[in-house]
């Protein structure tokens, strides 16, 4: 990412980090208070280190924000136009697709218990490759062959050799 876009992204990150660190801080202090209320020492508390980490994260977030502002970023880029441009970009589409594929594999295909691992994996691999590969017959056949081999090896390697109950 070139610098300007980076700084804008940093700005958003710093806001997220601020919220995150404040949240963690509150939860951690709660833990410390709970410990004290049980009559134990402050240093025994599970909330001790998280409080420290939350504080440091907060400070880092502030510093990040400052650098972002200094380098010229501001919140004005948060417009609908820019958002639309982002969604149309190749990068976004590609990442969205891959993340979607992964989600489909992990949250849908594998948990379906009657759909055996071999098939889930084959579907995942095949869909993944087909989307990004050239769309001519030769490639499609190559893809199918590769998927079969790969699925076979994964299944054999983990299911038989390692004797793991496959998902």
Q: Which of residues 29-58 bind other proteins (CB under 8 A)?
A: 31, 34-35, 38, 40-41, 43-50, 53-54, 56-57
Q: How far is the CB of 66 from other proteins (least distance, A)?
A: 10
Say which residues have a Cβ less than 8 Å from residue 22's Cβ, sequence separation at least 6.
54, 58
Which residues, 53 to 92, sit near other proteins by CB under 8 A? 53-54, 56-57, 60-61, 63-64, 67, 90-91
Q: Does 2 bind other proteins (CB under 8 A)?
A: no
Q: Of 27 and 79, which has the nearer Cβ to other proteins?
A: 27
* Number of amino acids touching other proteins (CB under 8 A): 76
Q: Of 56 and 79, which has the nearer Cβ to other proteins?
A: 56
Q: Does 148 bind other proteins (CB under 8 A)?
A: no
Which residues, 91 to 130, sit near other proteins by CB under 8 A? 91, 94-95, 98-99, 102-103, 105-107, 110-111, 113-114, 116-117, 121, 124-125, 128-129
DSSP states of the chain: --HHHHHHHHHHHHHHHHHHHHHHHHHHHHHHHHHHHTT--GGG-TTHHHHHHHHHHHHHHHHHHHHHHHTT--GGG--HHHHHHHHHSHHHHHHHHHHHHHHIIIIIITT-TTS-HHHHHHHHHHHHHHHHS--SHHHHHHHHHHHHHHHHHHIIIIIIIS-----
Q: Are 17 and 64 in contact (CB under 8 A)?
A: yes
Q: Return the structure tokens found at 32.
A: 């410390």
Among 22, 29, 36, 150, binds other proteins (CB under 8 A): 150
Q: Of 81 and 91, which has the nearer Cβ to other proteins?
A: 91
Q: Of 30 and 79, which has the nearer Cβ to other proteins?
A: 30
């Amino acid at each position: 990412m070139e610098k300007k876009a980076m700084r804008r992204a940093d700005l958003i990150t710093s806001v997220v980090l601020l919220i995150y660190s404040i949240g963690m801080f509150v939860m951690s202090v709660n833990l410390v208070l709970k410990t004290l209320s049980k009559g134990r020492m402050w240093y025994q508390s599970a909330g001790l280190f998280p409080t420290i980490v939350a504080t440091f994260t907060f400070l880092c977030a502030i510093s990040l924000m400052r650098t972002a502002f200094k380098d010229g970023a501001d919140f004005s880029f948060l417009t609908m136009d820019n958002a639309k441009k982002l969604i149309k970009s190749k990068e976004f589409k590609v990442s969205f697709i891959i993340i979607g594929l992964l989600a489909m594999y992990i949250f849908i295909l594998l948990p379906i218990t009657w759909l055996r691992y071999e098939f889930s994996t084959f579907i995942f691999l095949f869909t993944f490759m087909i989307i990004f590969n050239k769309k001519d017959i030769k490639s499609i056949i190559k893809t199918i062959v590769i998927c079969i081999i790969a699925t076979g090896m994964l299944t054999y390697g983990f299911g038989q050799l390692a004797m793991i109950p496959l998902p």
